[in-house]
Structure 1
Amino acid sequence: MTTILQLEGLGKQLHPPDGPWLFRDFSASVAEPLIISILGKSGQGKSTLLRILGRLTAPDRGSMRLQGRDVSQWTPEAWRMTVSYVAQQPVMLPGSVEDNLRAAAFLHQRSFDLTQARQWMEQIGLDHLDWNSGAQQLSGGEKQRLALIRTLLLRPAVLLLDEVTSSLDSISKQATERLLVDLHAHSGTTILWVTHDWEEARTTSQQIWFMADGRLLEDADSRTFFDSPRTEEARAFLRSSHLLAESLEGIR
């Protein structure tokens, strides 16, 4: 079976050519469809890694292969249709809610799946929206979910998610998580998901990429990572995450 995604020695400098490295020597492969959570403290380059994988930012070192073909063998457009990125801060295109939903189909000359769009909008609690209303007038959480559906309608093989549930209330967050887990289960979509919510990672992901000290320190299945992390850095990260979660629960 052809490897879905292969990364060899990826690196990004803060100020090339002589500046410090944000991360380097990042090597990993995705041999089968998985949901992979990318964890680590802020400042490790997790979002930058996603932007590199989406060909929105160029690496300063290393190579990428998608479905057995080097990145140089793909046009940027074909790559981005196959590996699609959803940003933490969603950008609404000018026009209405419907204009935004139809944008991907229009740009890539595909038919628009109205039935699927309505189903997904309902599933994540956006069925109340007037499709003729301006997308710019939506709340932050509504924009985030609309941007996600807009990208899902491309039906990418690999989905890159940058903290897409961080601005959502608990009900919307759970509905979005269910949609993504269902999508993976039924269509075999590979999902690379940057999150600071360790509980979200534990319940949705099969694999964990843990970044620390400018490197990929752990690449492990989720149960192994959360039950018996290999490195002290990962153990310290999980301890601090547990303490933070407990303190937030106490505030509530």
Structure 2
Amino acid sequence: MLQLLLDAKASINAHRKDGKTPLLIACGRGHVQIVKRLVELKAEMEAGDTNGDGPLHCACYNGHLEVIKFMVDTHHFDFEAHNNQDRTPFDIALSEGKFDTANYFYQKSFQRAVKSLQVEETKAIQSTGQLNLEINHPTDKNGTTSLCLACQNQNLKLSRLLLDSKASIQSHMPDGRTLLLIACSRGHLPAAKALVDNKADVKAVDNKGYGPLHLACLNGHLNTTKFLVEN
């Protein structure tokens, strides 16, 4: 039916009196394939209805998670955008009791805070405790966890916060590097000490067979090398 209308030159951005376009209607009803097709055809994605609800808001009223993930993960829609009532998609999901959707946004907010190395914001999100935060959930397609990001960026305060929150210390990158291997390869001694104190596997090796001591030596990190030898 959609293709017939398009073939008849129907306007892809036509809207009703309430301001709803075909894309907004499809999002509100959870028709993910139609949503994808409309996006392919360059439907106006920033348009909102008379209430200020955009595609993401519309999908959240009924908790259409597949549509929401497509919008956020593929097209990077802002899940903190406000409508005319100053409500975000997250607010709508909570008020409508769509907790799977709300939890998805909660997780995204946490990952955004970690990626930007915002310690206080990360702590604030954790402290709400209102939803199920999966602290070990990958932050990207490579399987990088929040703790991996903190270690890669040598952010000790954030690393300690995540460790205290029971983040998995055995997380590893696609190349086999564990958190301890990352810290040692970069000479980040405080992080290496914190990881060893939390029982990180000191015998772990990456895909090339390099262990913590190999990587510290290869990169000329004397203090880290001394610490590993002495411990």
In the superposition, the TM-score normalised over structure 2's length comes to 0.30
Structure ranking higher in helix proportion:
2
Question: Whose RCO is larger (CA < 8 A, sep 6+)?
Answer: 1
Query: Which structure has the larger Rg?
Result: 2
